[in-house]
Structure formats: C-alpha cells, structure tokens
Amino acid sequence: MWELAREFVARAKSSPDEIAVVDASGEYTAAGVVAAATELAALLDTAPGGSPTVLVQADNSWRTLTAALAVGLRGGVVAVFSRHATPSEFAVALHDIAPDVVIADRESLAHWGVPDDRFGEESTALGGWAVRWSRSPVSDVGRWNGGIAIAMTSGS
C-alpha cells in the first residue's frame, strides 16, 4: 500500500487536475483524492496511531480509493469489505482480520453490528463516513507477512 500511495501522491503532484475517480456522486481529481487521503492519514496517526489494519467499506467510490491510500500513507494494511455483507460475515472478518479501525457509512456499521465496546472511539471523514477505532494499541502489521491488502467482498 505504501508504494501505491507514494506513486499516487507523485501522480497528483504532476497532474493535480487529472480525473482519478468517476463514481455515482461525481468526478474527483487526483489532487482532491490525495488531499482527502492525507487528511484521513493524519486522523489515523493521531487517533489509533501506528500502522493500523483498517477494514474499509468497499463501495466502488472515491471513498474506498481514498481510504486505501490513507492506510498506505500510514504503512498499514487495508481490508476492503462489502457493504452487503451480513452481520455473521462481519463477525468472521473481526475474528480473522482483527482490524484496528473500521471505516464505513453509518448504515453499514449498524447493519454489520460493529461492537461499541471494541470500536468505542469515533470520528468522521470522507464526506460523512464514520471512522471507528479502539483505544487498544495498534496491532503489528508484520502479522500479515508483507501483505498489504485483504478483500472480503461479494464473490471473494
């Protein structure tokens, strides 16, 4: 993720007005995506700190890309997770991935049953999405043996 984030930041510097994302809500420039990713990376640095494992709602939007870049800027591991996943699938993801942070819209958080006792701290980023984390120390990303991304989406 770090390499992808670094390359995307360089691309945004050389072509800031280049359209990086077109989704259902509009078009987003490379510079705009990097600005949002940098803001989220700063939140991840001051909130949970370290290089977190972050479970992000996968919705084929600027938010998913931006969150992945932010996690890369922090040297973390991103786990994209379908907003259509069931609460039991989320429970499996919590067990298998043990994320330090969960980023998603509030409807998905409620549907999945994100536990308040585990992710009791909250902020907002990415145009209204919730960023939830624990006060526990961030887990060591070394547990992923060099892995940078996890996908638990429809059909995976």
Q: From residue 17, give the alpha-carbon distance in Å to each of 27, 63, 65, 67.
A: 11, 18, 17, 20
Residue 56, phi then psi, degrees to nearest 5: -120, 135
* pTM attached to this predicted model: 0.91
Q: What is the pLDDT of residue 104?
A: 97
Q: Tell me: the pLDDT tens digits for 91-148?
A: 999 999 999 999 999 999 999 999 999 999 999 999 999 999 988 888 888 899 888 8
Mean of the per-residue pLDDT values of the chain = 92
Span 3-11, mean pLDDT? 91
Residue 156: is its pLDDT beyond 50? no
Domain architecture of the chain: domains with CATH: 2-152 (3.40.50.980)
Give the C-alpha separation, 79 to 102, whole Å: 9
Q: Is the pLDDT of residue 50 over 90?
A: no
Pure H helices in 25-125: 30-46, 62-73, 87-97, 106-112
Q: Is the pLDDT of residue 67 over 50?
A: yes
